[in-house]
Chain A
Amino acid sequence: MHRAIYAGLDRTEHALAATLFVVGGGGVETPRLLLLSAGPTFSDGLANRSGLVARGFMEHPSCATRARVAGQSYAERISFYTATCNQFWNTANRGTRAAFSVQIPPGWGEAPMHLVEQSGLWGDELSGYIQREFGHSIMLESPIEMLPDERNQIDLDPDLKDYFGSPAPRIRLGIGSYELGGMREAQQVHARLLAAHGATDVVHEPEVLSQSHHGGTCRMGDDPRTSVVDRNLRCHDVPNLYLIGSSVFVTMGLANPTLTIVALALRLADHLIAHTGEAVS
């Protein structure tokens, strides 16, 4: 690889020549960039001789349960999670169902505006409804561990284009019995916790929610046939191209991915300094 072509907001293309390239675009944009960079040498996408670029997409799907409590839940008082329980992370049946945590989101869909949308009311009826209902709902949410599955993948949308006219990423994502097992158990835990609290109107959210944690689409490994980058994050197929970010994850675990991404970035920086002889500031 000798140069990268990029465009600014004015859509004018520029070329950047370098001896070494590092791509850090996350679990969706990194594989998309590689797929968009297909050419005569790599007809299925840059660094994609294994055919594994954009495959094995993982997320942290979540399930949630809402309920009504008699006391005040102090909704939306603070903007970050203050209550998380990891008791159900590593249990005896981890091999048969996904790990999950239980957390209480700070805002659980009952800000005044959300109550407006739910009620369909207006005028004094609406303001009275908001004053009565606000602060009496609670939500328990459980992000779920997800296993890699090659059927979960990203490809280029044949119709939808981005601002630059390039195909948008299209995500195909399904969850299997391992993840569903974790979700079912999480819902049972939610129900027990809420019953112990005396909550009423318990409703399991019918939809699988997302934590927007993307990963696993350019997996790391020693074997070029079963991975995209090696243990030092160098692409097997393109020796001067490195990938960094959650796309190189082999599994997703349950922890939020940021600290792992940071650790990998620091490790990559050390590796590049040691092997290129150049200081990176």
Chain B
Amino acid sequence: MTLVVVVVLLAVFVMVVGGAVLVRARRYPELEPPDIQAAAEPLVADREVLPPPVVTPELAAAVEAEAPPLPARPRMRDRLGKARGLITGYVGSVLSRSGIDDASWDDIEEALIRADVGVATTGTLIDSLRQRVKSDSLDTPEQLLSALRDQLKSDLAVEDRRLHLADTGTNVWLFVGVNGVGKTTTIGKLGLRQAAEGNRVVMAAGDTFRAAAAEQLQVWAERVGADLVRGAEGGDPGAVVFDAVQRAAARGADLVLADTAGRLHTKVNLMEELRKVHRVAQRDPGVVSEVLLVIDATTGQNGLAQAREFAEAVGVTGVVLTKLDGTAKGGIVLAIQAELGIPVKLVGVGEGPEDLIDFDPDEFVDALFAA
């Protein structure tokens, strides 16, 4: 009985207090930008803006000692090779039968679910396949698997998978995602790639929350020869990104790679903070040409919830699927694309600077199903 009262009171309480909070949250946007604008000049002076490092022999040696050896540019097929075993098993099982029977469908369903494709998406896929089998009168396992591959490739196909750069303004690529997915490491790798393509990069240590996050990015900046803008730990992430944009503009750099703190999508205040960072990043001359959601390939169905919330908060333009060098298949990206229309643009396949590949759906699917 007490519980009922508690529940009702909680509800009442939440209405009363919660209403205030929600109103405040909506009011919140109005408060911040003037602060940033007004403080722009002094803030730059306060921030620790590192010049490009002078690479002394000692520094080079130290960085080298830290960084693992750089392998040749990896191909998706090679990097996913070790993880093929699972699907190969199911494929083998399907192929071992003379025709297409219930067991074949069970194997396919299991393979897809095990790949974290999810029950709903798997169901849709299998329904389409069943239609196809009927309409095209398929009867061999090879045909079935071929149809499955085609369906997956077609589901993942998008017209434009490029990473965009606007012609005018200072480009900002904002990296968002939950904790531990590989945002900072991805920025490091992208920094190297951009440098190789002759683009000048400024990294923004927008993770002002996690212990030694800026230090982590600093190591990457040194590795790849990029400028780094960082702020005080516990400071305002928006201000760091803003400063980075200003610095990039001042130095004629092509691109700002903005790191943000990992945050669970269920935390309303943190998502609000992210919205703010996004807004600040767009202040003249900043142009946020990409908002990249970094998703860990080992993530299960929660990946879809993550994508939904981040998309709603800041508008995600692409997914970076990381840690695909492990056993996980990252099947959740199918649901993300199907439901939200967000394509995978990049794939992370290791912790080294070269371990970043452009996502190719054909290669992705073929590598999974190669028998």
**B partners with A:** no
Chain A residues within CB distance 8 Å of chain B: none
